[in-house]
Amino acid sequence: MSAPIAARSRDAAEAELAVLRLRGLREWVDPSRLLSLTRALSRDPAVLPSARALATFVSAEFARDLGEAPAAERAATSLGFITRWLVAGPFDNEGRTGLDRAAGPEEQRRARIDPEVEFPGQARPVRWRLLPDEVASLGRVPLDAMVRPSVNACAYAHTTVAVASAGPAVLRVGASGAVRAWVDGREVLRDPSVRRAFPDRDALPLTLSAGAHRLLVKVCTDERGMAFYARLTRPDGTALRVEASADPAAAPARTAPGGEAPAMPASTSTFARLRALSERSTRAEDLERVARYLVLTGSDDSNDPHAADFAERSAQAAPTSVRWMLAAATTPDRGRRMEALRQAYALAPADPRVLLAVGRDRRGGGYAEEALPFLEASLRADDLGLEAAVEHARVLETIGLPLAAFEELSALAARAPRAPGVLRAAMHMAERAQQGASAQRLRRSLSQVRAGDAEAWEALARDARQRGDRAAVTALADEIVGLDRGRLDAYSTAAELLESVGEGDRAVATLARALEIAPEEPALWSAKGSLEERLARVDAARESLQRALLLRPQDATIRRHLEALAPAQARPDETEAEAATAFLERRGAAEATFNVATLTELTARTVYANGLSGTFRQIAYEVRTPQGARDGRAYTMQYDPDSQRFALRAARVHRRDGGVQEGTQVQEFSSTSDPSARMYFNNRVVQVTFPDLRPGDVVELQWRVDDVSPRNAFADYFGDFQFIQANVPRERWRYVLRSPSAREMFVHVASLPGGRAVTASTRAEGDVSVRTWSADSVPAVAPEDHAPGYAERAAYLHVSTYRDWAAVGRWYWGLVRDQLVADDRLRAVVREITRGLTDDRSKVRAIYNWVITHTRYVALEFGIHGFKPYLVAQVCARGFGDCKDKASVIVTMLREAGIEASLVLLRTRANGNIATEPASLAVFDHAIAYVPSLDLFLDGTAQHSGMDELPGGDQGVMALVVNTRGEARLVETPVYTPERNRTTATAEVTLRSDGGASMTVQQELRGPNAAGARNLLEAQATRVERIEDDLRELLPGVRVTSVRAEGLDDVERPVRLTYEATVPTIGTRQGDTVLLYGASPVQLTRRFATRSTRAHDLVLGVPSMVEETRTIRLPAGASVLEVPPPVRLEGPFGRFEYAITAQGASLSVRRVTVLSRDRVHPNEYGAFREFCQAVDDAVARRIVLRLPQAGRTEVTR
């Protein structure tokens, strides 16, 4: 074992890495041996102070593993860790914005501490609380044990340290999460990266006077642990003797120093030096060292990881099998891991470590049989390889040989009886192989070498309970709590064990101790309430459950439990349901033209302080016709099983004769994907079927859907968007919103047809505000062709807790910013595709084209990923993503190229425009990117569109542009001018004397129309067929004989088509004359203006321009009898030009059609219809020719 020698290196990083390598052996080496080695290093004067301190800390961990808890704590104490603190929190850190947002403790960091003062917290007011002495273990201060919620949260810790004499000192801090620290009100540390807690990550030189000094630490985390280590040392690294106190009276008030604030001290830790080295060095040795240190100390930023990139660059710079294995071990990407292992195997095919790594990867990838040869080769090369032997046994179990795996691990445990990893694997295998006696023996052995292994102790306690050993169970319950007094689930486990042997009072006391640490943990209150109920302490149980529900009001399980203890009472929102006698009176009120009519529809939403909610729904609809009976036979409801609970309250049929049928058929099934749209999500559908409906019946359903997530994935936001109208009439519609009176709600209600307002009322029920909106005799939404999206045709109600769009942007950027991080591979791609490009436009084009050609559209809309993109590096490695994933890739790559870009949330044209207030997340259904320097929007899902061909659905719509500083502005995307969506066509038509023709056509398409052509004509095998289909209505019998296409596979070029075709008959033959259209009919009236009037805007699509030039060559002997006169029309809707001139034996035709508007208001529709008719009339006038031969009459175009 070479680590002790390496630990004496004069290079601090190398010495510390040697100690860390010993720490990494804790699963496979007798901890007594490791403890002896690390204790020796901690006392060795030849070892550098930083490595000695690390060896002391690691030796404390090994001592704890061996059950020597007092010795372990003494070792940690000798390092000077500070464990006496006041703690305050949580404070909000949604979107990782909390680190730089000053909360009360930070604002008052120089003022005297008043433990009675409350600060506005994340979910409720908070105050300073004392960290119990027993909670901190080996110097680790577990803030996450004390504050709730402890995700997306910040917490503060304050202590006062008394220094005996003035002089230089070093504050050493290592936190899990982003961290800031202040000494006497002066900031000395700010690290926004999210890392794991590890001692001495930063070393901050200070000069301290004799006396008391205040230390304030702030830790912010997302969904990981929240903890830190802190100690004061002398400059040489030895512990500085200080007296730490959490007594508020010991904290002296400080006056803010005048003048400019002093600069923060630069960290002098090994981590800081390695981080600086990684920024300037390209040497393989340096990069490997940095990568190993990041991994072994948990110092890699989880939101912007670099270890994998450093490891891969190291292996590429100077390849060795060891470096490639490090690259494989650090990357989360399976493709990169397999490539790294392939490289390692090529360099060292007989190295047992390489063989083990390859075998493990094969097993983990689902190829267990392929793993066996590598693992067996590894064992042959190193018969002491415990890891390979354990892995080999796991493969045996995977392929269906659990007893063989158990026997193999049993023999291995006999050979290595003090290797925790071996004992744990053997224990698990014994349990799965149902070898009870062996499992018990292995648990006891494991507990002796890994005293902190809660799983083993809990299993031993269950064994003792099973054999009826009450004394052993109670002793083990105490042991389980004592393993780590900051691990709250240990208290619940211990309480369960104590209750099982009749120690109910001790069980309650155990949970009460846990609640002293975390009084805002609802799971503990719920467990205590359940326990008290089983002990027949009903009043106490009710009080505990009420506390739990107060902390987590959305928890349906706690609510049901509490309701079971209390007299049955209807939920307040369910009392809003309308009685059947009331809605049945509206039978027959709706227009007889509808097959089904809604008699009542209620949505009652209860919003809690954290933004989560419960929803109660009631609907009753009348079946009017036999078709209505068929249409209304099944009704579906949907919910998300991961975050919601569904309950069907009622499903009944009110018969026309007055009877009520309760019996129904209820099915529930998963609705997890829409492969046609390449979208995948996790929903459950409940379908209620009424098999025997008849006209006159009324179907009534009541159900509820409750949020049950422990936390709101959208911070405390609540938003809802409900249509008041539907495709059938609603005789009564109601929406009831129950919310905390202190919570401001922003609401917009769109008026009903005719300007009729929706009735609104508000009442108070204690501290709950109840707002109701209702409308009677709500008409159905009338269908119209070319109508705008539904929100522009139907009245709606929109509710949000967001005050303005700036708040939406801040939250959204906080949610997504850590996903928009490039890895080395993507940076290399950006460098490669922009090499030699000097202007922004060229770089943007290169990046946009890379994204649309290298990532397919596939949407994995699971949980928060309906709004949050996946990691950019992951999207690129997979080669697929949805709209927000692709937009994130574009923005990230542009930033790497030095071009500012923003994410854009979009409401597509298909959904219809809505009012710009209130600000909300509920209104967006798409995401694209924006480049401000070019004023350019880019849609990464538009695989057939060029950079300047924004899809029509993205044009002229509401969009929220969120830049990389979290600043947001609401805009309307541009609508292209007709010139940007232009089609030009030139046709050479040669008439034959028999009335047939041959033609050569050249077309060029630019803009969104070009994207449609690329999509339609992309497949060469069907290209001719699709062109013929397009022509056949005008030219029956047409046959396309050749096609040449350009720009179909290059979206930055216009689409150019040249095709040749023959037509058996063209025009209308009447004797020796032919009536012939000069140009292709425009048919504007048929396309857009068939109705005499409109109720809603007419949506025309992207403004367009079509220029057609046609030369008609006549056969010998033909003559022109009549040519339509030229026409020019121009107005607010566009322009039309049509002219035909005779030139000898040919006719020259020119047509220009410009539609300059994307929509037409109903007030303008009559004028627009006249324009369409005038255009169509002009084109309908035909050329009259006399041909030299007569033939039968054909009517065609």
Rounded average pLDDT over 210-238: 93
Distance between CA atoms of 507 and 495, rounded to whole angstroms? 4
Distance between CA atoms of 102 and 305, rounded to whole angstroms? 27
- The pLDDT of residue 976 is 96
Res 688 pLDDT > 60:
yes
Distance between CA atoms of 1074 and 1191, rounded to whole angstroms? 10
SS3 at position 1136: strand
Instruction: Label residue 1188 by pLDDT band (50, 70, 90).
Output: confident
Residue 176: what residue type? S
User: Any idea what the CATH number is for the domain that residue 794 is in?
Assistant: 2.60.40.3140
From the CB of residue 745, how many other CB atoms can be counted at a distance below 10 Å? 17
For the record, the structure tokens of 757 come out as 């307002």
Claim to verify: residue 656 and residue 553 sit in the same structural domain: no
For the record, the structure tokens of 832 come out as 């490669």
- The pLDDT of residue 255 is 67
Rounded average pLDDT over 811-834: 91
From the CB of residue 1144, how many other CB atoms can be counted at a distance below 10 Å? 7
In a domain, 413, yes or no: no
DSSP character at residue 164: S
Chain CA centroid to CA 577, Å = 36
For the record, the structure tokens of 896 come out as 């790497």
Exposure b/e, 674-690, CB count within 10 A at least 16 = b: eeeeeeebbbbebebeb
SS3 at position 1121: strand
For the record, the structure tokens of 778 come out as 């709500």
Domain boundary among 762, 784, 801: 801
CA dihedral of residues 329, 330, 333, 336 (deg, nearest 10): -70
SS3 at position 100: coil
In a domain, 323, yes or no: no
> Rounded to 5 degrees, what are φ and ψ at 154?
-120, 150
- The pLDDT of residue 667 is 87
The dihedral through the CA atoms of 650, 654, 660, 664 has a sign that is negative
Claim to verify: residue 126 and residue 182 sit in the same structural domain: yes
DSSP character at residue 45: T
**Biggest CA-to-CA distance, the chain:** 121
Q: What is the CA radius of gyration of the chain?
A: 37
Q: Which of 459, 518, 525 is nearest to 493 (CA)?
A: 459
Q: What angle do CA 771, 774, 775 make, to 5 degrees?
A: 165
As a whole-number percent, the residues of the chain with pLDDT over 70 amount to 97
Element (H, E) at 475: helix 470-483
Distance between CA atoms of 96 and 100, rounded to whole angstroms? 9
Distance between CA atoms of 872 and 888, rounded to whole angstroms? 7
SS3 at position 664: coil
User: Any idea what the CATH number is for the domain that residue 837 is in?
Assistant: 3.10.620.30
Claim to verify: residue 576 and residue 565 sit in the same structural domain: no
For the record, the structure tokens of 347 come out as 């360099």
Contact 994, 980 (CB under 8 A): no
Distance between CA atoms of 917 and 970, rounded to whole angstroms? 11
Q: What's the structural domain count of the chain?
A: 6
Claim to verify: residue 557 and residue 619 sit in the same structural domain: no
- Reported as half-sphere exposure (CB side, CA atoms, 13 A), residue 340 has a value of 26
User: Any idea what the CATH number is for the domain that residue 1145 is in?
Assistant: 2.60.120.1130
pLDDT in tens, 318-356: 999 999 999 999 998 888 899 999 999 999 999 999 999
As a whole-number percent, the residues of the chain with pLDDT over 90 amount to 70
Instruction: Label residue 223 by pLDDT band (50, 70, 90).
Output: confident
For the record, the structure tokens of 633 come out as 């036979």
Distance between CA atoms of 194 and 210, rounded to whole angstroms? 34
Element (H, E) at 175: strand 167-176
Claim to verify: residue 1088 and residue 1156 sit in the same structural domain: yes
- Model-level pTM? 0.81
Rounded average pLDDT over 39-64: 94
Instruction: Label residue 1192 by pLDDT band (50, 70, 90).
Output: very low
DSSP character at residue 1031: H
Chain CA centroid to CA 182, Å = 34
Res 1197 pLDDT > 50:
no
- The pLDDT of residue 1 is 54
Distance between CA atoms of 56 and 200, rounded to whole angstroms? 13
In a domain, 468, yes or no: no
Element (H, E) at 86: strand 86-92
Distance between CA atoms of 1007 and 887, rounded to whole angstroms? 20
Residue 174 zone, left/alpha/beta (φ > 0; ψ -120 to 50; rest): beta
From the CB of residue 783, how many other CB atoms can be counted at a distance below 10 Å? 8
Element (H, E) at 1105: strand 1104-1113
In a domain, 284, yes or no: no
> Rounded to 5 degrees, what are φ and ψ at 1082?
-85, -40
Claim to verify: residue 120 and residue 219 sit in the same structural domain: yes
The per-residue pLDDT of the chain, averaged, comes to 91
Claim to verify: residue 854 and residue 951 sit in the same structural domain: yes
Res 383 pLDDT > 70:
no
SS3 at position 378: helix
Domain boundary among 740, 772, 801: 801
pLDDT in tens, 301-312: 988 889 999 999
Claim to verify: residue 1025 and residue 907 sit in the same structural domain: no
Claim to verify: residue 551 and residue 624 sit in the same structural domain: no
Residues in the chain: 1197
Rounded average pLDDT over 624-644: 91
Distance between CA atoms of 704 and 603, rounded to whole angstroms? 10
In a domain, 283, yes or no: no
Distance between CA atoms of 292 and 287, rounded to whole angstroms? 9
Rounded average pLDDT over 20-26: 93
Distance between CA atoms of 248 and 238, rounded to whole angstroms? 28
In a domain, 302, yes or no: no
Rounded average pLDDT over 126-153: 92
- The pLDDT of residue 677 is 58
What are the residues whose beta carbons fall under 8 Å from the beta carbon of 45, sequence distance 6 or more?
A: none
Q: Helix H segments across 1039-1107?
A: 1084-1088
**Reduced 3-state DSSP string for 247-280:** CHHHCCCCCCCCCCCCCCCCCCCHHHHHHHHHHH
User: Any idea what the CATH number is for the domain that residue 106 is in?
Assistant: 2.60.120
- 205-209, 479-483, 776-780, 891-895: segment of lowest average pLDDT: 479-483
Distances (CA, A) of 803 to 141, 694, 747, 970: 37, 49, 10, 14
Residue 1014: what residue type? R
Claim to verify: residue 773 and residue 633 sit in the same structural domain: yes
Res 853 pLDDT > 80:
yes
In a domain, 397, yes or no: no
Chain CA centroid to CA 861, Å = 8
Q: What angle do CA 877, 881, 885 make, to 5 degrees?
A: 100
Rounded average pLDDT over 544-573: 81
CA dihedral of residues 515, 518, 520, 525 (deg, nearest 10): -30
Claim to verify: residue 815 and residue 797 sit in the same structural domain: no
In a domain, 457, yes or no: no
Q: Please list the helix, strand and coil fractions of the chain in percent, rounded to the nearest 5, in that order.
A: 35, 25, 35
Instruction: Label residue 1195 by pLDDT band (50, 70, 90).
Output: very low
Q: Helix H segments across 1018-1164?
A: 1023-1032, 1084-1088
Q: Which residue has the higher pLDDT, 811 or 173?
A: 173
For the record, the structure tokens of 210 come out as 């004799």
SS3 at position 859: strand
Contact 594, 624 (CB under 8 A): yes
Element (H, E) at 606: strand 596-607
Distance between CA atoms of 138 and 136, rounded to whole angstroms? 7
For the record, the structure tokens of 426 come out as 């053997």
Angle, helices 522-534/538-551, rounded to nearest 10 degrees: 160
Contact 634, 688 (CB under 8 A): yes
DSSP character at residue 142: E
Distance between CA atoms of 26 and 20, rounded to whole angstroms? 10
Contact 992, 1065 (CB under 8 A): no
- Structural domain including 936 reads 806-974
Claim to verify: residue 755 and residue 617 sit in the same structural domain: yes
1055: β partners: 1005
- Reported as half-sphere exposure (CB side, CA atoms, 13 A), residue 224 has a value of 19
DSSP character at residue 1033: T
Number of helices followed by number of strands (H, E) in the chain: 35, 47
Res 1196 pLDDT > 60:
no
Domain boundary among 946, 974, 1002: 974
pLDDT in tens, 1133-1156: 999 999 999 888 899 999 999 999
